[in-house]
Amino acid sequence: MTKTVVITNGTIVTMNDRDEVFNPGVVVIEGAKIVEVGALSNGGTESLAEKYPNAQFVDASGCVVIPGLVNAHTHAAMTIFRGLADDLPLREWLEQHIFPAEKKLTEEWVFWGTVLACAEMIASGTTTFCDMYLFEHKVAEAVDKTGMRAVVGEVLYDFPSPHYGELENGFAFTKRFIEDWMGHERIKISVDPHAVYTCSPELLLRSFAISEHYDVPFVIHLAETEDEVQETMRRYGRTPVAHLANLGVLSGRVIADHCVWLSEEDRAIIAEKKVKVVHNPESNLKLASGIAPVADLLRRGVTVSLGTDGCASNNDLDMLSEMDTCAKIHKGVLRDPTVLPAKEVLRMATVYGARTLGLDDKIGKLEPGMLADIVILDFNKPHLTPCYDPISHIVYSARGSDVRDVMVHGQWLMRNREFTTIDMGEVKARVKEIARRVRSD
Q: Where are the CATH 3.20.20.140 domain residues in the chain? A: 69-356
pLDDT of res. 212: 98
Residues 6+ apart with CB under 8 A from 336: none
Burial class (CB in 10 A: 0-12, 13-18, 19+), 24: middle
Partners of 67 in beta bridges: 374
Q: Per-residue pLDDT for the chain (441 aa), expressed as one digit of tens each?
A: 689 999 999 999 999 999 999 999 999 999 999 999 999 987 678 889 999 999 999 999 999 999 999 999 999 999 999 988 888 887 888 888 888 888 889 999 999 999 999 999 999 999 999 999 999 999 999 999 999 999 999 999 999 999 999 999 999 999 999 999 999 999 999 999 999 999 999 999 999 999 999 999 999 999 999 999 999 999 999 999 999 999 999 999 999 999 999 999 999 999 999 999 999 999 999 989 999 999 999 999 999 999 999 988 899 999 999 999 999 999 999 999 999 999 999 999 999 999 999 999 999 999 999 999 999 999 999 999 999 999 999 999 999 999 999 999 999 999 999 999 999 999 999 999 999 988 876
pLDDT of res. 312: 85
Q: Where are the CATH 2.30.40.10 domain residues in the chain? A: 4-67+370-419
pLDDT of res. 43: 64
Domain 69-356 has CATH 3.20.20.140: yes
Residues 6+ apart with CB under 8 A from 228: 195, 196, 197, 240, 261
Q: Please, how many CA atoms are within 13 Å of residue 326, restricted to the half-sphere of its CB?
A: 32
pLDDT of res. 280: 98
DSSP 8-class letter at 313: S
Nearest C-alpha neighbor of 207 from the set 241, 156, 269:
156
Q: Which fold has domain 4-67+370-419?
A: Urease, subunit C; domain 1 (2.30.40)
Beta strands in 75-165 (DSSP E): 126-133, 149-156
pLDDT of res. 439: 80
pLDDT of res. 8: 97
